[in-house]
Chains A and B, each alone.
Chain A
């Protein structure tokens, strides 16, 4: 047993090291190379060209405003929701859990598209309504602005900020607040003088994490930013490799280096903040009871805001997409629209070979990729939690490295690698890229599942006469099922919707759903886009339901 263990750790370090280091390594080499065909011929020209570009200053300014703005929107909303949920007697608390789960329900690109359908200047539904009501000429509101991007990205990243802030808020030692009140401070004063300052590390951590995610975000900048000619780093890099006549992967790699550097710096900052947070927030396990603040008259108005947010985040995008998929062109819901409804767009999607291929590819990548990914995550999590040597600590850092890499940057890095191999333009290239980028999503739930299996549970099985393999089969794996299932669900839904990596790696023949949706958006084929989008949501939801049912069946205790 000890022999297989010693071989396991280095083996995993090689695999995970390849997956995370290879794209970075190739990106660096690529940024100093002449071009994809002339790999290794050293040049500095790409850096010179990339960084003296006069447009770059504007792009960087946009990027900063976009990321910091989204972080502010997401964090303020998250604080508001977390406070209401953990500290007040607001009704229907289950809604908060739902809000924190939405990233699994509505893919980012579809969320962005639904806002375009509502608020684009030429035929956005809300604009059409406003035009009719007030007899306006032109657009009242345009989503194709930096503010529009910030709003949509902020809403999308709200769950991430919530997941960081809510635990800190509920682990908060209530006696700190109580002593402030004993000193005569009001609820509001306590909130601003005690609660928020103590939560500062968590708030900063949430903001940092959202900045990292929005820096890596591609859906919003491409669907909302590009039509308005507002470019951020991600779309700037995309433009360099996607404009058909002058693709320059060397230049893209050189520009990507700054996105990568920024991400790594921010993640290091995030880790520092979360460590500080542990020191700061006092968690007392004994006698913990949250002090619930009576909202009284404000209860239902505040709940109204939460309900509206849930509606905007979950129901509205799906409604808009479905409506758009059955009307012939963008129109305000009316009797006329009802009369003209048809399955025309659905039929054309089902007749479109590229859409069908993308459906097949995404489903294959979702199921196959998540299964391979979770197997790898299982072994990595096992080594991280149970082996606990210096090498396993190294593996841990290595496996969470890719969390900070923007997808498009990883894509460019892998591009430099795959063109050297027969994997180029195959679905395997996407599969490897997906697993590399999303490995932390599989490892995280599995490590926490492993941690929860107390050492004694395995030892007890050994003493009872079960050998190592018997123990693995009857004790360890059954106890891991919930972690395996949630890791698999996370990975599968991420893979079905994957966009930012795929826009670089996907080639004719390996189209995937999100890329096909982006093409439809670029061509303004909103009806077909919506039909395909609903299919995408349907596939994700089905995978989630099937996987959780299997999980429930496997973990049931015989009665």
Chain B
């Protein structure tokens, strides 16, 4: 079911200061999609999620889930969370410690007074789905972090909600388990065909789980797009910077044309993927991600975007070398295969594919 949010605003007052958590947010979340709200802490993403679920009261605006308006400041509508029929997985999981796994999962059905037999059947089916068969009688506190997370997911799914919401559900897991759970969650959600809204500050989670990512900053939605668009073709420096490490090189558009747009920059002319709005003479920023910088050995490359520089530093991080190279006094960070024969202090040639050089207008 789709969610539409119109001009939503919310601010808090804390110690006499007013903090704007949401500023005029407009957003459409398509049905049966995994939609991620991504942003640094304090950007308002959790507040937005809590407004959708009904745990926060916005100051202004309107929220509709499907055809039902669940909040409208103008029409004075506020549907409390228990009447919205949603499912939610909390960052803390919020597993009730005084109940066993069965009662935790059965709770949403019990609030709806469904018949015992029906409850038992649905709980069993849901626990099977999250691969917790036979855990019914376990005290909920007696589970590992990953299992608790799956109980929370089962509880959010058992009543077949219209929408399921996730508030940083993986942030309490350790790195290895987080990766496994992320993959698991992805396959669960693909299988279900359900609208999911997912809040995270982790770019890898956002990129790997979502159909659509919305990047937030200071209470505003900065950019919405597919993971691919956000990663490769963002319009904004903030987004490009937040979604991954990047080199930003200032310059001016020299020629805008086929097949590439040429930029005059501090390190020399750079051929970039063309961009509408990049007219000759305009000041722009070129964004090059460190993983797309290649080291040239011998005579390679098609002659485009080849630069020479001195390796200032080089750190072995296991699956790669990470380092800094200075090209015409401009430092660039790069990331290359660990088998590449490069040493600190060496003069090397490097190149980057024009397809991976994007122009930021702002």
Which residues does A use to contact B, with CB under 8 Å?
A: 454, 456-457, 459-467, 470, 474-475, 478-479, 555, 557-559
Q: Which of chain B's residues have a CB closer than 8 A to the CB of A461?
A: 96, 107
| A559 to B92 alpha-carbon distance, docked (Å) | 24
Sorting the interface of chain B by its residue count into under 10, 10 to 19, 20 to 34 or 35 or more gives 20 to 34
Q: Which of chain B's residues have a CB closer than 8 A to the CB of A457?
A: 94, 96
Least Cβ distance of A261 to chain B in Å? 34
Contact A559 B111, CB 8 Å, known A454-B92, A460-B88, A463-B81: no
Least Cβ distance of B84 to chain A in Å? 8
| Among B92, B112, B155: residue with most chain A CB under 10 A | B92
Contact A555 B98, CB 8 Å, known A462-B82, A464-B107, A465-B112: yes
Contact A559 B100, CB 8 Å, known A467-B80, A470-B111: yes
Contact A463 B86, CB 8 Å, known A479-B97, A558-B100: yes
Q: Which chain B residue has the least Cβ–Cβ distance from A471?
A: B82
Least Cβ distance of B140 to chain A in Å? 8
| A462 to B91 alpha-carbon distance, docked (Å) | 16
Contact A456 B82, CB 8 Å, known A466-B111, A470-B111, A557-B139: no
| A474 to B88 alpha-carbon distance, docked (Å) | 19
| A467 to B83 alpha-carbon distance, docked (Å) | 8
DSSP majority for the B interface?
loop
Least Cβ distance of A474 to chain B in Å? 8
| A465 to B109 alpha-carbon distance, docked (Å) | 8
Least Cβ distance of B180 to chain A in Å? 24
Contact of A466 among B54, B87, B107 (CB under 8 A): B107
Q: Which of chain A's residues have a CB closer than 8 A to the CB of B155?
A: 460, 464
* Listed A/B pairs (27) with beta-carbon separation below 8 Å: A454-B92, A454-B94, A456-B91, A456-B92, A456-B94, A459-B81, A459-B90, A459-B94, A460-B94, A460-B155, A462-B81, A463-B53, A463-B86, A464-B111, A464-B155, A464-B159, A465-B83, A465-B85, A466-B111, A467-B80, A470-B111, A478-B98, A479-B97, A479-B98, A558-B100, A559-B100, A559-B139
Q: Which of chain A's residues have a CB closer than 8 A to the CB of B55?
A: 459, 462-463
11 extra interchain contacts, Cβ-Cβ under 8 A, other than A465-B85, A465-B111, A558-B99?
Answer: A459-B55, A461-B107, A464-B111, A465-B82, A465-B108, A465-B112, A466-B111, A467-B82, A470-B111, A474-B107, A479-B97
| A519 to B90 alpha-carbon distance, docked (Å) | 61
Least Cβ distance of B150 to chain A in Å? 15
Q: Which of chain A's residues have a CB closer than 8 A to the CB of B93?
A: 456
Assess whether B103 is interfacial by the CB under 8 Å rule: yes
| A465 to B111 alpha-carbon distance, docked (Å) | 6
10 closest cross-chain pairs (CB), A and B: A460-B94, A456-B94, A465-B111, A464-B108, A462-B81, A456-B90, A463-B88, A557-B139, A466-B111, A478-B98
| A559 to B83 alpha-carbon distance, docked (Å) | 31
| A474 to B53 alpha-carbon distance, docked (Å) | 21
Contact A463 B87, CB 8 Å, known A454-B92, A470-B111, A557-B139: yes
Q: Which of chain A's residues have a CB closer than 8 A to the CB of B82?
A: 462-467, 470
Instruction: Enumerate B101-149 residues with CB–CB distance to A below 8 Å.
Output: 103, 107-108, 111-112, 137, 139-140
Q: Which of chain B's residues have a CB closer than 8 A to the CB of A470?
A: 82, 111
| A227 to B55 alpha-carbon distance, docked (Å) | 65
| A454 to B167 alpha-carbon distance, docked (Å) | 15
Q: Which of chain A's residues have a CB closer than 8 A to the CB of B83?
A: 465
Q: Which chain B residue has the least Cβ–Cβ distance from A557?
A: B139
| Among A456, A470, A479, A559: residue with most chain B CB under 10 A | A456
Q: Which chain A residue has the least Cβ–Cβ distance from B103?
A: A558
| A454 to B99 alpha-carbon distance, docked (Å) | 15
